[in-house]
């Protein structure tokens, strides 16, 4: 049970505060429905509501999910039919879906377009092209012939392939040997959609898709590696997805997927210490600074924690305030609470 008062939860709901997403749900006695904190429907009077820690309790009490805010859905989750398209592209990047193909699958092309524009900043057809270009780039890096790669990736002309390639990398395919790439992929978890990035050395980013710092991180990573971030598959993603699934099922306490963290030497030292916090336990920022050998560096340690780009695997969620309170977390305090609850439940 969360320790928030009804007044705080009502005010958060009244303000549609996204910081409380996943922390509580509000049941409206006069209508028999329950909502998420950010619901845009007209707010009822305080005496006509009650609050729940989870959707199960709201349903057992007889409440129905609101049709406006859809509290049983993850708002950023990839729809199953779109996930299937992306999975097929992952297996075969040369696949080309036309609008007629989408219609035959029962999908509206305009709906698919809008979803990709919202979540990837590009149309579905542009998204397909990035997958093909990613695949082509890796084949060229392995020494394959430019013409063969263009034809294998479904391009009808070399000039069309050259133009598409230049749009992404800024150079022609034949001059791409010195270019580098960082792969990107959406991963669904019980706590929401995550964005993963990886290069040949390992995972360099794993963040919840609604993290406010994502735009900054998308600038830091390509600058650090002198590379382009392009949607595509990476061998490390398979290991990551498997281990994340096992973690959320309570079957994994340690991760083995290789990491390639982006940060200063000091930040990397702090992150290494984070990885020594035992599963299901917590430490304070002061304890982290003490282990680092610099007891006065509490603020610097806290700042480094906040700049961690690899959530869960580098477990900054296990660091709390000296008084035992949950402090800031990039993925939202509610997720920090859920992660700690998951680990303690499995541990004990």
204 is in an annotated binding site: no
Picking from 115, 150, 178, the residue at the C-terminal end of a domain is 178
Is 3 a residue whose pLDDT tops 80?
no
Phi then psi for residue 344, to 5 deg, are -70, -35
pLDDT digits (tens, 9 = 90+) for 8-41: 899 989 998 877 877 889 999 999 999 999 999 8
CA dist., res. 20 & res. 1, Å (int): 14
CATH number at residue 330: 1.10.10.10
Write out the H or E segment, with its range, that includes residue 333: helix 333-347
Q: How far apart are CA 337 and CA 234, in angstroms?
A: 31
In a shared domain, residues 103 and 137: yes
Query: Residues 288-317: what's their mean pLDDT?
Result: 91
The pLDDT mean for the chain works out to 87
The pair of structure tokens assigned to 115 is 């979803």
Residue 274 pLDDT: 94
- Strands (DSSP E) contained in 95-202 are 181-189, 192-198
39, 68 Cβ separation under 8 angstroms: yes
Is residue 273 over pLDDT 90? yes
> Is 197 flagged in the annotation as binding?
no
Q: Residue 101 above 90 pLDDT?
A: yes
pLDDT at position 347, please? 65
Instruction: Please spell the DSSP secondary structure of 200-220, one letter per residue.
Output: SS-EEEEEETT-TTHHHHHHH
**Residue 320 in domain:** yes
Phi, psi of 259 (to 5 degrees): -120, 150
Please choose, from the candidates 179, 166, 95, the residue with its C-alpha nearest in 3D space to the C-alpha of residue 140: 179
Q: What is the pLDDT of residue 175?
A: 73
- Residue after which a domain boundary falls, among 192, 225, 249: 249
Give residue 135's pLDDT band: very low, low, confident or very high (50, 70, 90).
confident
Whether 31 maps to a domain, the answer reads: yes
Give the separation between CA 307 and CA 338, rounded to whole angstroms: 21
Q: Give dist(CA 34, CA 30) in Å, integer.
A: 11
Report, as an integer, the average pLDDT of 258-277: 94
Q: Coil, strand, or helix at residue 3?
A: coil
Q: How far is it, in rounded angstroms, from Cα 348 to Cα 344?
A: 6
166 and 87 both lie in a single domain? yes
Domain interval for residue 134: 80-178
Q: Is the pLDDT of residue 279 over 90?
A: yes
Indicate if 277 and 233 belong to the same structural domain: no
Q: What are the pLDDT digits (tens) for 215-261? A: 889 889 999 999 889 888 899 999 999 999 999 999 999 999 999 99
Q: Mind listing the pLDDT tens digit for each residue in 167-225?
A: 877 777 877 777 888 999 999 898 888 999 999 999 999 999 888 888 889 889 999 99
User: Could you tell me if 86 and 53 lie in one domain?
Assistant: no
Question: What is the pLDDT confidence band of residue 162, given thresholds at 50, 70 and 90?
Answer: confident
Where does a domain end: 132, 154, 178? 178
Quick check: 2 pLDDT over 70? no
Active site (catalytic) residues: 35, 316
What's the average model confidence in pLDDT over 301-305?
91
Q: How many domains does the chain have?
A: 4
- Cβ atoms of 68 and 35 within 8 Å: the answer is yes
The region, left, alpha or beta by phi > 0 then psi within -120 to 50, assigned to residue 22 is: left
Does the annotation list 39 as a binding residue?
yes
Q: Does residue 72 lie in a domain region?
A: no
H-only helix segments in 142-284: 146-152, 158-169, 214-225, 235-248, 265-274
Of 238, 246, 345, 325, which is closest to residue 282 (Cα–Cα)?
A: 325
Strand partners, 80: none
Binning pLDDT at 50, 70 and 90, where does residue 308 land? Answer: very high
């Amino acid at each position: 049970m969360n320790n928030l008062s009804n007044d705080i939860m009502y005010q958060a709901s009244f303000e549609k505060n996204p910081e409380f997403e996943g922390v509580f749900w509000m049941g409206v006695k006069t209508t028999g429905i329950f909502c998420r904190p950010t619901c845009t429907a007209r707010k009822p009077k305080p005496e006509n509501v009650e609050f729940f820690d989870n959707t199960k309790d709201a349903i057992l009490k007889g409440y129905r999910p609101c049709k406006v805010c859809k509290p049983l859905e993850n708002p950023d989750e990839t729809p199953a039919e779109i996930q299937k398209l992306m999975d097929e592209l992952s297996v075969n990047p040369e696949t080309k879906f036309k609008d007629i193909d989408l219609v035959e699958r029962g999908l509206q092309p305009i709906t698919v377009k809008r979803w990709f524009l919202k979540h990837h900043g590009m149309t579905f057809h542009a998204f397909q092209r990035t997958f093909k270009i990613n695949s082509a780039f890796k084949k060229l890096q392995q020494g394959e012939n430019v013409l063969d790669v263009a034809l294998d990736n479904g391009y009808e002309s070399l000039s069309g392939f050259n133009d598409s390639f230049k749009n992404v990398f800024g150079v022609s395919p034949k001059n791409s040997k010195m270019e580098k790439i960082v792969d990107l992929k959406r991963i669904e978890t019980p706590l929401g959609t995550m964005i993963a990035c990886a290069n040949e050395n390992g995972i360099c980013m794993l963040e919840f898709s609604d993290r406010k710092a994502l735009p900054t991180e998308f600038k830091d990573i390509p600058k650090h590696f002198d590379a382009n971030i392009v949607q595509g598959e990476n061998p490390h993603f398979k290991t990551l997805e498997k281990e994340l699934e096992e973690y959320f099922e309570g079957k994994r306490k340690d991760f083995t997927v290789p990491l390639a963290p982006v940060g200063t030497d000091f930040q990397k030292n702090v992150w290494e210490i984070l990885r020594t916090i035992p599963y299901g336990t917590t430490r304070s920022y002061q304890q982290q600074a003490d282990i680092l050998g610099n007891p006065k560096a509490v603020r610097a340690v806290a700042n480094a924690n906040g700049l961690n780009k690899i959530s869960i695997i580098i477990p900054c969620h296990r660091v709390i305030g000296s008084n035992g309170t949950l402090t800031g977390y990039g993925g939202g305090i509610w997720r920090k609470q859920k992660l700690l609850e998951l680990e303690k439940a499995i541990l004990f």
